[in-house]
Every structure is written in structure tokens, then in C-alpha cells.
Structure 1
Amino acid sequence: MGFLAVYGVLVTLSTVYLLRTDKAIVERRMRVGRKSETRPVQKSMLGVIVVVSIALPVFYALDYRFGWSPVPPVVSLIGDALFAIGLGITVFTMIQNTYAAANITVESDRKVVSTGSYGLMRHPMYMGALLMVAGMPLALGSWWGLAFSSLS
């Protein structure tokens, strides 16, 4: 229940914030999926990502339910924290770079962002996603999930 609360509250708050401050980025992030991609390889990869994105949390839940790899409660809290920090980095990146779309596009008025988190690393949103992917299985009570997440 803890992970669902963290996920639900943080995603809702960040979405409401972005809708109020930069609706254009929300619209860009919503243009995603097989119809948005032009290259067959990209379309195929999206299909794999969708399947994996659904299958892994189901596996984590089954792992927790059947106790295949029990995780101490403190580790679940660490997983919640990793997920929250990763989501925070992702949202902060979108605030800094309004062109952080789901699909790569070339736009005439786009400027290279090199300040803030982009001053520390070239792709801060990937770092945020990595922390979320690492935190989710721990938050959901699965050590195995962490092993699978590290493969991605």
C-alpha cells in the first residue's frame, strides 16, 4: 500500500503542477506510442517496453504475495524513497527543459539546456528513470525485481 500511495500522490501532484505551469510539456509527453513513432524498430521497442512495464510490477506483486524473496520493511521504504527521488529528478528535468518530449523531434526554437541538472549530466531524465526502476521492486517487496530492473 505504501508504494501505491507514494506513486499516486507524487504523480498526481507533479501532473497538476506541470499542467498549471507548462501545459505544452504535458502535451508533448502525451504524444507517445506506436502511432507517434515513424521507424519500425522504434515501434517494436515500444511494444516490448509496454509488455515489460506491465509484466514486471505483476511479477513483483506475486513475489511479495508468495514470499519468494522477502524484503524487510525498511528496504521497502528505501525503495519508496528511490522512486520518489527518481520521479522528482524526472519532473525537475521537465521543468528545466520544456522540450523533454517522449519522442525526439527537431524544433526550430529549441535551445540546448546546459544549466541545472543538465549541467551535471547530459540526460538527467534517464537518471531519474533509473532510480524509479530500481526503487519500484524494492518498494513492492521484491529483491528479484531489482535484479530484473538492473538488466534494463
Structure 2
Amino acid sequence: MIAKLVLQTFVWFGVMGALMFGSAGTLHWAAAWVYIVVMVGLSLTMGVALARRDPGLMNERLRLPIQKTQSAADKILLSILLLGIFGWLALMGLDVRFGWSAVPVWVQAIGALVLLVGIWICYLTMLENSFAAPVVKIQDERGQRVITTGPYSYVRHPMYAGAILYFAGTALLLGSWWGLASVLVFIVLLAIRTFIEEKALRAGLRGYDDYA
């Protein structure tokens, strides 16, 4: 499992780096290097900790983003979301290449903090919810139940709240106002996915109606 985590982490951020630096037309992009190094480090550190604490969840999160048991609507939306992320990274690279944005260093620093807060919220969510799979499905084989504690005592979908902060923080850290504006697209996509997930949970997870 750890070997798979390491491989997927380096492949994922390798692709992200290729998109960013390729579209920027240069490797001299300090903020992008900071982003990649920090994200690889956090992904591996938190991934190893999660694998030791909750191997069942880690196994779910290492599976492919498109699965047989996943609803058709979620397959389509998740595909759009992934393509959107790739396009978003390329857009921010083009922003750097052509100098469209002038983001002060102190704003980039704030972006880094927002990014870290978003990741921390996502991590707390996974610590609290052993069923936080990356796809929308009911995990009957793992005895899925309604989680109402931790971040879930404040908001129904804390992972999405953390993801929005992650997107916004990343755009600011990378110094792209265009990237920040594009976060609105992700907010809309996540709102639609929330609707898809709510429908699945209400239909298939006992007790969710009472929580919702």
C-alpha cells in the first residue's frame, strides 16, 4: 500500500508539474516549486499516517477515480472536475508566461496558509470518516454509517469546504488572479457533486435523513 501511495503521489504531482512548467515555458517559477515540494511532502506524510491508522480508507482512496459501483452522474462530473484541474493548472502557467497577474508576495504567503488550512480540514475529515472515498458510493461491504462528529458536526461536507480553500490557496500561492477567478467553476462543480452525493446518501445510507 505504501509503495502504491508513493508511486501515485509522484505520478500525480509529476503530471501537475509538467502542466504548470510546460505552460509557463520555464522552470524558474519559485512558487510552483514550493507548491509541488510541500504537496508531495504532505501527501506522503499524511498518507503514511492514514495508512497506518485506517488502511481500509487508504485503500479506498488509492483506487481509480472511476469505478464500477460509482453512479454515472458522478463518473461524468468527476471526469469534468479532473479535466478542469488540468486546465486550471495550465491556465496559471500561461498567466506566469505572459505576466497577466501581479500578485504581491504577501498575498502569495496568505495563499500558502489558506492552502494548508484546506488540506488540514480534508485530513481531519478523513481521520473522522473512515468512509471518505474519492467517489460517491455506499460502502455496505465496509459497514458504512453516518458520521456526525468532528468536522461533520459543523458542516455536512467538510471535504468540499477544505477543497475550496485548497483551490483558492493554490491559486494565490502560484500568483494567479485568473486561477483564483477560476475557483468559481470548481465551487459550482462541487455544489453539483454535493447534490449527487446527497441523493445517494439519502437513498442508500440508513440514518442520513435524520442527520441531514
The answer to whether the Cα contact below 8 Å between 1:37 and 1:43 also exists between their aligned partners in 2 is no
| Paired AA for residue 13 in structure 1 | T
What is the alpha-carbon distance in structure 1 between the residues aligned to residue 174 and residue 35 of structure 2? 7
The normalised TM-score by structure 1 is 0.90
The normalised TM-score by structure 2 is 0.66
Determine if the alignment matches structure 1 residue 64 to structure 2 residue 96: yes
Residue of structure 1 in register with 2:36 after alignment: 4
Q: Over aligned residue pairs, what C-alpha RMSD do you find?
A: 1.7
* The one of 74, 95, 105 aligned to 2:138: 105
Residue of structure 2 in register with 1:49 after alignment: 81
The count of corresponding residues between Structure 1 and Structure 2 is: 152
What is the alpha-carbon distance in structure 2 between the residues aligned to residue 15 and residue 48 of structure 1? 25
Residues 97/64 of structure 1: CA separation in 2 closer, same or farther (3 Å cut) = same
- Deviation at 1:92? 0.9
Residues 96/14 of structure 1: CA separation in 2 closer, same or farther (3 Å cut) = same
Determine if the alignment matches structure 1 residue 92 to structure 2 residue 124: yes
| Paired AA for residue 122 in structure 1 | R
**Pair member with larger Rg:** 2
- Identify the range of structure 1 (139-148 vs 36-45) with the bigger mean alpha-carbon deviation: 36-45
Q: How does 1:26-37 map to 2 (within 5 A)?
A: 26-36=58-68
- Identify the range of structure 1 (40-49 vs 67-76) with the bigger mean alpha-carbon deviation: 40-49
Determine if the alignment matches structure 1 residue 143 to structure 2 residue 177: yes
Residue of structure 1 in register with 2:16 after alignment: none
Q: Deviations over 1:61-95 (max 9, x none)?
A: 22123210111111111111111111111011001
- Identify the range of structure 1 (46-55 vs 122-131) with the bigger mean alpha-carbon deviation: 46-55
- Deviation at 1:131? 0.5
Residue of structure 1 in register with 2:162 after alignment: 128
What is the alpha-carbon distance in structure 1 between the residues aligned to residue 37 and residue 123 of structure 2? 18
* The one of 102, 114, 117 aligned to 1:82: 114
The answer to whether the Cα contact below 8 Å between 1:93 and 1:124 also exists between their aligned partners in 2 is yes
Note the residue ranges of structure 2 that are not aligned, 5 or more in a row: 1-32, 187-212
The answer to whether the Cα contact below 8 Å between 1:75 and 1:138 also exists between their aligned partners in 2 is yes
- Identify the range of structure 1 (102-111 vs 89-98) with the bigger mean alpha-carbon deviation: 102-111
Q: Deviations over 1:27-59 (max 9, x none)?
A: 111234234454433322232122111111121
After the TM superposition, which segments of 4 or more aligned residues of structure 1 sit over 4 Å from their partners? none
What is the alpha-carbon distance in structure 2 between the residues aligned to residue 38 and residue 8 of structure 1? 28
The answer to whether the Cα contact below 8 Å between 1:6 and 1:80 also exists between their aligned partners in 2 is no
What is the alpha-carbon distance in structure 2 between the residues aligned to residue 83 and residue 17 of structure 1? 20
What is the alpha-carbon distance in structure 1 between the residues aligned to residue 164 and residue 151 of structure 2? 15
Helix, strand or coil at the partner of 2:146: coil
| Paired AA for residue 59 in structure 2 | E
